[in-house]
């Protein structure tokens, strides 16, 4: 099938730089996607955007270029509840990728076990209105109860302003809960202001809640340009991510978000995104927890 990209769609960076920051051995890119290819794995009818194709082999080439050992591939909304592209990528990863699926309440036990065997370890609940249609909370709770016995967790994606309304639902979930991109704070607000304090309180009061300190390119207003050799690209996001890493060092993950859906201003150089890590996890101990120990505990718990 021939799919036309959404007008203005930015393709992923054609030649990311090799990062200056050398990630620790065994590092996991814990948030990335595959798109299609659409001719093999058609995009979902209910999608809100049509991306460029971004295949498993392109993802694994990026993994190697950036120095990572493994990936966690998160089902993207352009594929709806059809997890075939993501599962195919897991099956061709030689055990070096695990996945997060999107499922409906009607998913069968057989389908869940098939996905588990392929390497899926979580489901994603998306509350970002520009990306998905509404799903009733009772459906999501029913899914969470189904996947909990498999040892899976729930990944949630929402906008900071929606947290108050979603708080009771999130805190009632029976599994580990991983928040995408720190709950999308407005980084023009103070890092100790009410909006981000609310997110910190969520993690403080609920020890099952983790966060990805990812997507500075989505959150930043200052953008990719560093001021001088000392300051990071996306420097306005640094205090937010650093606070989460230092307060909850055992419950943080990091990911590239390749191939970076829905960016209209600029497409990040993935090498620069990796360099960002050293500004938010500033010791080798924190870097190892963020990139190796935490994702391994969540996605490859069977490995010593
Ligand atoms: C991300 C962010 C976005 C999109 C998706 O599944 C998706 O379509 O997650 C976004 O547009 O903010 O994490 O990739």
Whether the CA torsion 221, 223, 228, 232 is positive or negative: it is positive
Distance CA 28, CA 274 (A): 12
- Per-residue confidence at 163, pLDDT binned at 50, 70, 90? very high
Q: What are phi and psi of 247, to 5 degrees?
A: -85, -35
The CB of 262 under 6 Å from ligand 1? The reply is yes
Instruction: Please say if 269 is a catalytic residue.
Output: no
Indicate which residue of 29, 180, 257, 270 is catalytic: 257
pTM over 0.85: yes
- Main-chain phi, psi angles of 227, to 5 degrees: -70, -40
Give yes or no for residue 76 CB within 6 A of ligand 1.
yes
List the beta bridge partners of residue 74.
Answer: 100
**Please, are residues 56 and 34 in contact by the beta-carbon 8 Å criterion?**
yes
At 228, the pLDDT band (50, 70, 90 cuts) reads low
Higher pLDDT, 281 or 226: 281
| Cα–Cα distance measured from residue 129 to residue 206, given in angstroms and rounded to the nearest whole number | 25
Residue 208, pLDDT > 80, answer: yes
Q: Determine the pLDDT at residue 230.
A: 61
Note the pLDDT tens digit of each residue in 283-300. 999 999 999 999 999 999
Q: Are 244 and 211 in contact (CB under 8 A)?
A: yes
C-alpha distance from residue 42 to each of 38, 194, 276 (Å): 4, 42, 34
SS3 labels along 154-169: EEEECCHHHHHHHHHH
Q: Is 257 in the pocket of ligand 1 (CB under 6 A)?
A: yes
Convert the pLDDT of each residue in 106-140 to its tens digit.
999 999 999 999 999 999 999 999 999 999 999 99
Average pLDDT, stretch 160-164?
A: 98
The C-alpha atoms of residue 65 and residue 23 are separated, in whole angstroms, by 11
Decide: 137 and 169 in contact? Cβ < 8 Å. yes
Report yes or no: 53 and 71 within 8 Å, Cβ to Cβ.
no
| pLDDT average, residue stretch 20-49 | 98
- Dump strand ranges (E) for the chain: 28-32, 70-74, 97-101, 120-126, 153-157, 177-179, 209-212, 252-253
Q: Which of 95, 29, 18, 20 is nearest to 257 (CA)?
A: 29
pLDDT of residue 194: 98
Q: What is the mean pLDDT of residues 36-46?
A: 97
What confidence score (pLDDT) does residue 225 get? 84
Q: How far apart are CA 14 and CA 36, in angstroms?
A: 18
Question: Would you place residue 176 in the very low, low, confident or very high pLDDT band (cuts 50, 70, 90)?
Answer: very high
Letter string b/e over residues 148-180, b meaning 16 or more CB atoms within 10 A of that residue's CB: eebebbbbbbbbbeebeebeeebeebebbbbbb
Residue 229 confidence (pLDDT): 61
Q: What is the pLDDT of residue 266?
A: 92
How far, in Å, is the centroid of ligand 1 from the Cα of 126? 9
* Nearest atom of ligand 1 to the alpha carbon of 75: 6
| Choice from 128, 133, 159 to test ligand 1 binding pocket (greatest atom count within 8 A of CB) | 128
């Amino acid at each position: 099938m021939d799919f036309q990209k959404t007008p203005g769609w930015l393709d992923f960076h054609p030649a990311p730089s090799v990062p200056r920051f050398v990630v620790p051995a065994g590092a996991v890119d814990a948030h990335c996607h595959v798109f299609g290819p659409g001719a093999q794995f058609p995009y979902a009818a209910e999608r809100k955007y049509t991306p460029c194709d971004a295949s498993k082999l392109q993802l694994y080439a990026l993994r190697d270029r950036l120095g990572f050992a493994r990936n966690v591939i998160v089902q993207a909304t352009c594929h709806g509840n059809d997890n075939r592209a993501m599962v195919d990528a897991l099956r061709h990863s030689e055990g070096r990728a695990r996945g997060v699926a999107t499922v409906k309440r009607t998913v069968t036990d057989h389908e869940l076990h098939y996905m588990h065997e392929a390497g899926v370890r979580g489901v994603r609940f998306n509350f970002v209105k520009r990306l998905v249609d509404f799903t009733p909370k009772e459906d999501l709770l029913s899914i969470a109860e189904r996947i909990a016995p498999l040892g899976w967790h729930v990944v949630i994606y929402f906008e900071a302003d929606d947290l108050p309304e979603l708080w009771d639902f999130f805190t009632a979930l029976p599994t580990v809960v991983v928040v995408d991109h720190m709950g999308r704070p407005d980084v023009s607000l103070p890092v100790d202001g009410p909006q981000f304090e609310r997110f910190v309180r969520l993690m403080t009061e609920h020890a099952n809640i983790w966060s990805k300190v990812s997507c500075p390119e989505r959150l930043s207003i200052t953008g990719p340009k560093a001021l001088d050799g000392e300051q990071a690209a996306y420097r306005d996001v640094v205090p937010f991510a650093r606070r989460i890493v230092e307060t909850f060092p055992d419950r943080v993950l990091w990911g590239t978000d390749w191939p970076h859906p829905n960016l209209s201003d600029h497409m990040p150089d993935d090498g620069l995104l990796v360099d960002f890590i050293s500004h938010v996890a500033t010791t080798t101990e924190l870097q190892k927890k963020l990139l190796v120990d935490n994702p391994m505990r969540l996605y490859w718990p069977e490995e010593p």
